[in-house]
Structure 1
Amino acid sequence: MKYRHLRNATALLTLGEHRLLVDPMLADAGALPGFKLFGAGRRRNPLVPLPAGAPAWLDAATGVLVTHEHPDHLDAAALRWIRARGLPVWSSHVDAASLRRKGLAVREVHDGSLGLDVEVVPARHGHGWFAWLMGPVSGYYLAHPDEPSVYLTSDAVLADAVLEAVDRLQPDVVVAPAGAADMGVGGRILFSVDELVALVRRAPGRVVLNHLEALDHCPTTRADLRERLRAEGLQGKVDIPEDGEELQFTRPDDHARPHPRVGPGPRPGLQKWLTARMAAT
């Protein structure tokens, strides 16, 4: 398995024959408004451009995987890019109808999708009432028979569903957002640094941390995060890639894997209708 980190949550994930572009935010630096609603530090996003090799890596994609419709995971530039290439877009049932209305060739993620063992793991994008306003988010567990299994938490805080998925599915690699995003109201909407430490301790294998140094409402830096993980004695379990860096993982052994939970999963409702109004078009 290869994980090419591009920027923020955008990555090229290679699993077997699949090269999935995950959560593409392709806008030029400064093309989007600031996400911090209150307090100091509001700047236009993204804060940094895509790395120099991005065009070639994007051209290698065979499909797109979307965890939710926030513009830092699927922006207008990405929509134009996907439509121009006619790539299949994989999403949860919650997002599928909204994405189809945007002219995308959507395929719903479920067990067996892409020829993989798959589970959709709902995530909470924040705490309390603000998490509801942030809308539904889907994490994905993906297991190729010849590759390490990977759990993409997507934008999340350390809720019971995340910990239960880690304990039950025992993913070889966990990919989680580390920006500790705070819009200036409603508290943190991503893992705090303390929550990341707890997640890394709980994870059975490697942890890849992304969502860093690309958005105005994400104050955590790579340097500060590395220092905290060193202090906790956890640096050996964690990768914090630079933009453009590729990580490679091999399956640690051929032990039997737990089978993903099969079920209808969340369905779109009022929460999705509200957040879809604010999504990119």
Structure 2
Amino acid sequence: MKYRHLRNATALLTYGEHRLLVDPMLADAGALPGFKFGAGRRPNPLVPLPADAPAWLDAATGVLVTHEHPDHLDGAALRWIRARGLPVWCSHVDAASLRRKGLDVREVHGGALGLDVEVIPARHGRGWLAWLMGPVSGYYLAHPDEPSVYLTSDAVLADAVFEAIDRLRPDVVVAPAGAADMGVGRILFSVDELVALVRRAPGRVVLNHLEALDHCPTTRAGLRERLRAEGLLARVDVPEDGEELHLARTDDRPRPRPRVGPGPRPGLQKWLTAHLAAT
């Protein structure tokens, strides 16, 4: 498995025969509005894509989308995907909305991508804020020759995250570490929650969603220092933009079987957030 981190949550995941572009935000630096309300609001993204990004993007054979927020699927990415006609893998809750945007949509459920897969819903905040942020899907992927991987997507620490880790025992967990707060409440793992997540994970943890958006205050340096103080840094990767990680399966033990099924269905919450998403 290769994980090429591009920026924020955007990565090229080489997994078996697939090269999946995960959660593409392809806008030029400063092309999107600020996400933070009040002091500190700045145009997003804060940084450009790496200089070699076009070559890495051209290698993609498909796209994997966890939710429709513009820092995970923006207008530039929609245009890029349409121009190349790439298949877009997503959860059932996002499928109809993405089809309306002219994408070749394939749903992630049992047997999708020729892999063992599971859709794991995430809470993108707490209380009323989580409802307004809309539905988000994490994914578990397992290939016989690759490490199993759990992409939590945008989430806060909730029982469902720990349940998935304990039940599926993923070799790699990929989680957002920016501690995003738009000024009305936190919508991603806090640093304390990340420490708890790393302690619970059975294998390596890759942390992304850093230093690219105005509402994500956590820095790579600060995060590494905290993990070092907790004695956890050796189990964690905090990739720089453009960095590629090589992760191998370390044993041949049988894996737990993921749950099958399409996952949540779209409803009023999805209707609202789809109208606020990129077009």
Is TM more than 0.5 here?
Answer: yes
Partner of 1:10: 10
What are the residue-to-residue correspondences of 1:144-159 with 2, within 5 Å? 144-159=143-158
Q: Deviations over 1:59-112 (max 9, x none)?
A: 000000000000000000000000000000000000000000000000000011
Distance 1:137 1:254 in 2: 31
Unaligned runs of 5+ in 1: none
Moved over 2 A (4+): none
Q: Deviations over 1:130-164 (max 9, x none)?
A: 00000000000000111000000000000111110
Partner of 2:77: 78
Residue 150 of structure 2 contacts residue 174 of structure 2 at CA under 8 Å; is this kept in 1? yes
Residue 91 of structure 2 contacts residue 262 of structure 2 at CA under 8 Å; is this kept in 1? no
Kindly provide the amino acid, as one letter, of the partner of residue 27 in structure 2. A
Deviation of the 1:35 alpha carbon: 0.1
Q: Is residue 206 from structure 1 mapped to residue 201 from structure 2 by the alignment?
A: no
Taking structure 2 as the reference length, the TM-score comes to 0.99
How many correspondences in the alignment? 279
SS of 1:244's partner is coil
Distance 2:126 2:218 in 1: 19
Distance 1:249 1:116 in 2: 17
Question: Compared with structure 1, are the counterparts of its residues 101 and 121 closer, same or farther at alpha carbon in structure 2 (3 Å cutoff)?
Answer: same
SS of 1:96's partner is helix
Distance 1:83 1:43 in 2: 29
Partner of 2:107: 108
- Seq. identity, %: 90
Deviation of the 1:263 alpha carbon: 2.8
Kindly provide the amino acid, as one letter, of the partner of residue 32 in structure 1. L
SS of 2:106's partner is strand
Deviation of the 1:56 alpha carbon: 0.2
Residue 108 of structure 2 contacts residue 262 of structure 2 at CA under 8 Å; is this kept in 1? no
Deviation of the 1:50 alpha carbon: 0.1
C-alpha RMSD over aligned residues:
0.5
Distance 2:261 2:193 in 1: 28
Partner of 1:165: 164
Unaligned runs of 5+ in 2: none
Partner of 1:42: 41
Kindly provide the amino acid, as one letter, of the partner of residue 216 in structure 1. D
1:196 maps to which of 191, 194, 197: 194
Q: Deviations over 1:151-197 (max 9, x none)?
A: 00000000111110000000000000000000001x21000000000
Residue 119 of structure 2 contacts residue 262 of structure 2 at CA under 8 Å; is this kept in 1? no
SS of 1:20's partner is strand
Q: Is residue 234 from structure 1 mapped to residue 246 from structure 2 by the alignment?
A: no
Deviation of the 1:260 alpha carbon: 0.2
What are the residue-to-residue correspondences of 1:128-277 with 2, within 5 Å? 128-185=127-184, 187-277=185-275
Partner of 1:27: 27
Kindly provide the amino acid, as one letter, of the partner of residue 30 in structure 2. G
Deviation of the 1:258 alpha carbon: 0.1
Distance 2:92 2:167 in 1: 22
Question: Compared with structure 1, are the counterparts of its residues 3 and 244 closer, same or farther at alpha carbon in structure 2 (3 Å cutoff)?
Answer: same
Distance 2:144 2:138 in 1: 20
Taking structure 1 as the reference length, the TM-score comes to 0.99
Kindly provide the amino acid, as one letter, of the partner of residue 123 in structure 1. A
Q: Deviations over 1:185-213 (max 9, x none)?
A: 1x210000000000000000000000000
Question: Compared with structure 1, are the counterparts of its residues 60 and 137 closer, same or farther at alpha carbon in structure 2 (3 Å cutoff)?
Answer: same
Distance 1:243 1:225 in 2: 16
Partner of 1:68: 67
SS of 1:168's partner is helix
Deviation of the 1:264 alpha carbon: 3.8
Deviation of the 1:239 alpha carbon: 0.1
SS of 1:227's partner is helix
Question: Compared with structure 1, are the counterparts of its residues 80 and 110 closer, same or farther at alpha carbon in structure 2 (3 Å cutoff)?
Answer: same
Q: Is residue 56 from structure 1 mapped to residue 38 from structure 2 by the alignment?
A: no
